[in-house]
């Protein structure tokens, strides 16, 4: 249940950006979410609808794009996408000494807006 604080920070950042650029209405917010982040898109949208109420971004739709998990082998430095079928081995040398490069993160990618006509 860590979606709420994350949603609050997304709303805060988007409001600041919308104000900075004199945006009239925000139609869609694109958010990239790592598969390991554990964030549930449906939860984000329902929290978003609550948190964004009475703000400039109220009514915006979240477009949540999942980012695959990338691993790096500490033995041979190969980087590859982690597939569930392959287990936790390096696809190049077979080592199990892997570290996660990304997959935990989330960030706001872009906003689709109606700009002020003036």
Q: What is the CA radius of gyration of the chain?
A: 18
Minimum CB distance to Zn ion, residue 100 (Å): 15
83 to 112, contacts with Zn ion by CB under 5 A?
A: 90, 92-93, 95
Residues in the chain: 118
Q: Considering beta carbons, is residue 43 or 89 the nearer one to Zn ion? A: 89
CA–CA separation, 13 vs 107, rounded Å? Answer: 10
Identify whether the C-beta of residue 7 lies closer than 8 Å to the C-beta of residue 51: yes
The answer to whether 89 is a known ligand-binding residue is: no
Residue 94 and residue 57: Cα distance in Å, rounded? Answer: 48
Q: Is 2 annotated as a binding residue?
A: yes
Q: Do β-strands 23-34 and 98-102 pair in parallel, antiparallel, or remain unpaired?
A: unpaired
Closer residue to Zn ion, CB minimum distance, 74 or 110 = 74
For residues 40 to 79, the per-residue mask of contacts with Zn ion, x marking binding by CB under 5 A and - elsewhere, is ---------------------------------x-xx-x-
Number of residues that bind Zn ion (CB under 5 A): 8
Q: Which residues bind Zn ion (CB under 5 A)?
A: 73, 75-76, 78, 90, 92-93, 95
């Amino acid at each position: 249940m860590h979606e709420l604080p994350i949603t609050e920070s997304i709303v805060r950042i988007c409001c600041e950006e919308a104000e900075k650029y004199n945006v009239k209405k925000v139609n869609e917010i694109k958010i990239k979410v790592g598969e390991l982040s554990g964030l549930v898109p449906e939860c984000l949208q329902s929290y978003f609808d609550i948190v964004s109420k009475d703000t400039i971004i109220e009514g915006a739709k979240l477009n949540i794009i999942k980012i695959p998990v990338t691993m790096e082998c500490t033995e041979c430095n190969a980087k590859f996408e982690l597939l569930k079928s392959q287990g936790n081995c390096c696809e190049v040398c077979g080592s199990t000494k892997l570290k996660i490069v990304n997959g935990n993160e989330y960030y706001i990618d872009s906003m689709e807006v109606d700009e002020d006509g003036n």
